[in-house]
Amino acid sequence: MDLIVAGLTGKEIAREIGVAYRTVEHHMILARQRLGGVNIARAAVLWDRIRRAA
């Protein structure tokens, strides 16, 4: 999520960490589900708030 918050696309994240785009896409879906089914932009905002509160 940190890379999404930083503004990277799924394809850029995949390239950055050396995994397939589909792997990134799958983890993005799981993250959205854990955050209540919100879209990825909202998930990134929620994640950023959670990280700042910790």
The whole-model pTM stands at 0.73
Question: Whole-angstrom Cα distance, residue 30 to residue 13?
Answer: 16
Instruction: Name the DSSP class of 36.
Output: T
pLDDT at 48: 85
Q: What is the pLDDT of residues 9-34, one digit of tens each?
A: 999 999 999 999 999 999 988 988 88
Helix (H, G, I), strand (E, B) or coil at 1: coil
Rounded CA gap, 43 and 17, in Å? 20
Domain extents for the chain? Answer: 2-53
Interhelix angle 21-34/40-53, nearest 10 degrees: 70
Q: Please count the other Cβ atoms lying within 10 Å of the Cβ belonging to residue 16.
A: 12
Taking 80 as the threshold, does the pLDDT of residue 54 lie above it? no
